[in-house]
Structures are given as structure tokens and as C-alpha cells.
Amino acid sequence: MRVKTTCCGGDVASAASSEFEKTSVEMTTRKGSIKQNRKVIKLDAKSEAKEDLWRVVLARFESMAELEALSEAGSAMGDDEFSEFDDDEEGEGGGGAVLTLGTRFANADKLELTPLELQTIITALRDRQLPDITVAVALVDLMREHLASKALVCDTIPKPPSANGKIVVVGDLHGHLSDLMRVLDTYGDPNENLVYLFNGDFVDRGIWGPEVLLYLFAMRLLYPKFVHLNRGNHETKFCTDRYGFKNDLKSAYPADSEDLYEHILAAFDQLSLCHIVGEAIFVCHGGLPQAATMRKDIEKIKRGPFPMQGKTHRIKIFQALLWSDPRDESGVSARGMGYHFAQDITDKFLADNGNLKQMIRSHECANGGYELAHNGKCTTVFSASNYDADNDASVVVIDAALNVTQGDVWNEPYLSDEQMDSADPRGAWKSQEKSDKVALEGLAGKIKDQRDVTPKQRAIEKIASAITPVRPQLMDKFFANDTQKNGKITGTVAQETLREIMGLTMQTQGDFPWEALGPYLYEAEPDGTIKYVNFLNRFESPFSAWLGRKWCDILLDLVANKT
């Protein structure tokens, strides 16, 4: 399922601020909107792949949500804080078990963590046992200092030293701790013959983001030569404010999350933006910018807060490395940030930078966790299973000869039965999340557990949830169009008219597959028209009663005005 997703195409400059670039974004929140990436799908209404249709719909809705988020951020640009979650009340408890490592951390100005202590933190995190807040802050600060002094903007990884050595590139994890455990249990602990490169988007959307992040930080400090991290678009304040991690941190550390959050953001700012493996393979989270880019251009970028605005070449590169996506044709990204880069851009970048043989990126949810583009020169890897409905996850394996292949494929439940128990450290938070989801699904008349929902069901739910708040506007527009012809009320509109009204009212992209969705949303009359009241009533909700009253009021007003 790659997609995406992630954001609707459009000029963010006009949607947000004149400073925004026409590019692309990628995100989504497990608590209220849409899911992140999916398989890149050509929006052909004649496509015979029904499964693709539903993934296109999900991708387009996520794009709309992301562009809206970018627009909000653009209108607030200049403020130091984005406050989307500032009004949330802190829950009591919810932090779960806490690991302490003695009292020597209290009031210490300069902290160090020994290898044994780092291993103790890792072992506890496997059981979802968080370190004490003082230890967590120490870990994050040590990681920030380590990255600032040891990591590079464009870092390097040598090829494996032995014939059986390998480098495992892990794609988006998005707070899925079970998937991280699956990778490590499958391939083993880091060593000189087993190097890991985690390719960004460690947090957001999945509730175990704090555990995943602290685990990766501890691993890097324990195995600095064998564990590498790239920055993803979700390692930025813009995303973590909006897509779950900030709230997850509140649930993990109710009394200290704000301070810890600031320390984590500072550590994010020191992450590498890309790696080059064996001087042959380029690895970044997103992709490439429109303009020709050399390795030296990347190396000149100053690490720091993600630049939401700006038009310089370096800023464009920074944005692209975190946000861009490969496509068949180059152009403005549907995400609102980044760029859609075609094969000619990939070929030129690889050729201009020492004849690199391939690039690996993540940022989009590939259905099997792995997808090839640009004649095999651009590989997408995604490592969070059950992120987009029921997607599998995978990794990329680079061997000693620098061959790039797909690794193990797996599917881990997002939450096990044990984790669903109220004693779980995220029990209270998960309960609220599940309650929110049930409310949303109720609007679509399909209340089911997330693990059992198919892409088709999710897409229908998204459509129903989007239609509900705009039904008054739709009703008015349908009625206005109905009476424009001959002054009589027919109660019907042409299918093309209905699709046009839906697109304009719901502000969907021009390539939104309304036509392909038609058979699933309405039943046409013998003359091909649609009874619009029946159409609006198909989606069960408390709004139905209002709709009936509205229809009667319109008829009564019309009769009264003619008498």
C-alpha cells in the first residue's frame, strides 16, 4: 500500500501562506483521522483493482487532512508553539511501570549512562516498562550530545566487512513496538556484521512512540557503530504536535511530559538527514528535490528545527529529504510539502554523486512493506504492520556485495489481547482512543474493531464521516440545482452534477474517484439520475431525522411562497 498519502495535491502557498512551497506531506493520526502512506496508485477510474480504489480514497482523505494541518500551521507561522494539544487535560496515572536506575541521577548536572544501564533500559522497554523521568531526560540529552558530535548531516556506513555481514534498513515504525521487537528478534543484536539503519518516522500514530524512541536512542548509545538513525518528517515539532506523539508522551509521563518533549525535539534536530552505504546506496526518509542536488549540497545543510518555510536550495533539499515521494511524473507533491520526483531525477542524482547504484527511502506504506520504483533504482521500505488496515511489514537487507533485497515479511497485531487489558501502561489512553474510534465508526454505521476493518470499510467510513458535517450544504446545493431547470422539484440530480457538487463541497482533489465510487454510494434511477434525499439518507446517523425535517421545510416553504 504505498501511497500517499499523504496529502492532497494542491498549492500550499494558496492554502496556507505564500511562503509555503508547493510540495508534499505525509502523516495521519491513529486517534482521529487517517493513516499514513499507502501503495502508490495511479488514479484511474477505470482501474479493475477494487482494492486499489479503496486505498486511493484513503490516501486522498489523508492528503486532505494533512493539507489542512499545513494550512493551519501556515496561518500560525511565526508563533513559537503549535498548540493543538495544549488544551488537553493531563490524565491521572497512565504512566505505567517506571524503571529507576538508582539515585545518582537526582540533581546531577552531567549524566552518563553505562553500557549495563543502557542494556537495563532496553530490557525493561521490551516489557513496556519506561525509565524514570530523570533517566529518560538523561538518555535523551546524551543522545542529543552524541548526535551533535558524532553524527553527520549526510552520514556514511561502510559495507559489511565479512561475506555474511548485512545492513538492515528499517522503515517507518510509527510507535509500533511489536514491529521493532519483531525486527530485532529476527535479525539479532547489532554487531560488526549486523548493522541497523532506522530510516525515520519512529513515532506518531502508534501509542508506543515513547517506548520505541527511547529504545532506539538507548541502542544507538550502546552500539554507536552499528545502529544508525535518519530523521523522518515525523521527527519534527509540526508532526509530533499533531499526530499523536505529544499526547503519547503525556500518557507515559503525565507530570513531566512538556519538559521531556522539549528535550526530545532538541535531539530530533541533531539526527542525520541521510546516509550513504558503501559509497553506493543513498538512504533517506523521503526523497529528492526538483533541482539537481549534489552530496556536497546536503553536507552544507545546517541541522536544526525543520524549515516549514523558505525557498533556498538548501531548504528545498531539507524538505525533500523528509517529505518527497517517487512518482512516474515529476511535479508538485500532493502532500503540501516536498516534491514528486520522477525517474529522470533519480537517475541524475545517482549519476552525479559518484555513480551511486540505488536509493532507499520510506515515508509511504507499501502493502508488503517493500516496493520498487524507477526501474528498480528507488526502493520503498515500510516496517509498521497493520498500519493501513492489514498491511504487512518488511525491511531491506544490504549484503556484503551491496545487493539490495527485501528481508523478512511479517504481520504483527497492533495491540495484543494482553495490551488491551486495563492494567497496560497505556490502558487509559487506549480506552479513550477506542471510544473516539467507536464514535467515528458509528457515523458510518459500521462499528468494528480496527484490526478487522478492511480498506473498503475504512474508506466507506471516511466518506460517511466527511459527508455528515456538510449535509446541510449538500442538501441546499442539490435542491438549488434541481429547481434551476424548470422551477419544478424532481428530487433528483444527474450523476455528473452530484459528483461535481460533492467534490466542490467537500473540497476533494480533481482526481478524487467519485465516479468509480458511484455504485457503492447510490442507486441510479432508470433515467440515470440520483434521488439526492435517498443518497444522503443512506449513511445512518442522527442527522437523518434532521434531513427529513429539512426536506419537509423546503417543500412547505416552496408551497407557501407560491400561494
CATH of the domain at 207: 3.60.21.10
Separation of alpha carbons 74 and 19, rounded Å:
8
* Boundary of a domain, candidates 353, 383, 410: 410
User: pLDDT higher for 65 or 299?
Assistant: 299
What is the reported pLDDT for 44? Answer: 38
Confidence band, pLDDT 50/70/90 cuts, at residue 506: confident
10 Å CB burial of residue 112 (0-12, 13-18, 19+) is exposed
Clarify whether residues 491 and 399 are in a common domain: no
Query: How large is the average pLDDT for residues 141-164?
Result: 96
Confidence band, pLDDT 50/70/90 cuts, at residue 500: confident
Residue with cell string 523521568? 133
Confidence band, pLDDT 50/70/90 cuts, at residue 310: confident
Clarify whether residues 260 and 155 are in a common domain: yes
Q: Say if residue 99's pLDDT is above 70.
A: no
Record the pTM.
0.65
* Boundary of a domain, candidates 410, 440, 467: 410
Clarify whether residues 262 and 369 are in a common domain: yes
Query: How large is the average pLDDT for residues 106-123?
Result: 78
Clarify whether residues 233 and 345 are in a common domain: yes
What is the reported pLDDT for 19? Answer: 30
Clarify whether residues 499 and 398 are in a common domain: no
Of the ranges 166-175, 181-190, 414-423, which one carries the lowest mean pLDDT score? 414-423
Q: Please, what is the average pLDDT of the chain?
A: 78
Q: Identify residue 520 by its one-letter amino acid code.
A: Y
Q: Say if residue 34's pLDDT is above 50.
A: no
Confidence band, pLDDT 50/70/90 cuts, at residue 537: confident
Q: Is 284 part of any domain?
A: yes
What is the reported pLDDT for 72? Answer: 60
Q: Report residue 442 CA to chain centroid gap.
A: 24
What is the reported pLDDT for 555? Answer: 65
Of the ranges 283-292, 306-315, 355-364, 444-453, which one carries the lowest mean pLDDT score? 444-453
Number of domains the chain contains? 2
- 207-235: buried (b, 16+ CB within 10 Å) or exposed (e) per residue? bbbbbbbbbbbbbbbbbeebbbbbbbbbb
Domain that holds residue 310: 98-410
Residue with cell string 526538483? 290
Q: Is 36 part of any domain?
A: no
Q: Is 62 part of any domain?
A: no
With beta carbons less than 8 A apart as the criterion, state whether 170 and 198 touch: yes
Q: Is 348 part of any domain?
A: yes
The proportion of the chain whose per-residue pLDDT surpasses 70, expressed as a percent, equals 70
Confidence band, pLDDT 50/70/90 cuts, at residue 70: low
Q: Is 363 part of any domain?
A: yes
230: its cell numbers: 535518519
306: its cell numbers: 525543520
Query: How large is the average pLDDT for residues 345-360?
Result: 97
Clarify whether residues 192 and 315 are in a common domain: yes
Q: Is 75 part of any domain?
A: no
Q: Is 54 part of any domain?
A: no
Separation of alpha carbons 355 and 274, rounded Å:
17
**SS3 annotation, 394-458:** EEEEEECCCCEEEEEEECCCCCCHHHHCCCCCCHHHHHHHHHHHHHHHHHHCCCCCHHHCCHHHH
Query: How large is the average pLDDT for residues 170-186?
Result: 96
Clarify whether residues 401 and 459 are in a common domain: no
Sheet holding 339-341, edge to edge: 325-326, 339-341, 331-332
Clarify whether residues 364 and 473 are in a common domain: no
Q: Identify residue 556 by its one-letter amino acid code.
A: L
What is the reported pLDDT for 351? Answer: 97
Confidence band, pLDDT 50/70/90 cuts, at residue 20: very low
Clarify whether residues 148 and 267 are in a common domain: yes
What is the reported pLDDT for 88? Answer: 35
Clarify whether residues 391 and 534 are in a common domain: no
What is the reported pLDDT for 51? Answer: 58
Give residues with Cβ within 8 angstroms of 30, minimum separation 6.
205, 206, 207, 244, 433
DSSP 32: T
* Boundary of a domain, candidates 344, 379, 410: 410
Clarify whether residues 356 and 464 are in a common domain: no
Q: Say if residue 28's pLDDT is above 50.
A: no
Q: Is 511 part of any domain?
A: yes
User: pLDDT higher for 409 or 47?
Assistant: 409
Query: How large is the average pLDDT for residues 74-103?
Result: 41
Domain at 494, CATH number: 1.10.238.10
Query: How large is the average pLDDT for residues 320-348?
Result: 95
Clarify whether residues 321 and 462 are in a common domain: no
What is the reported pLDDT for 302? Answer: 94
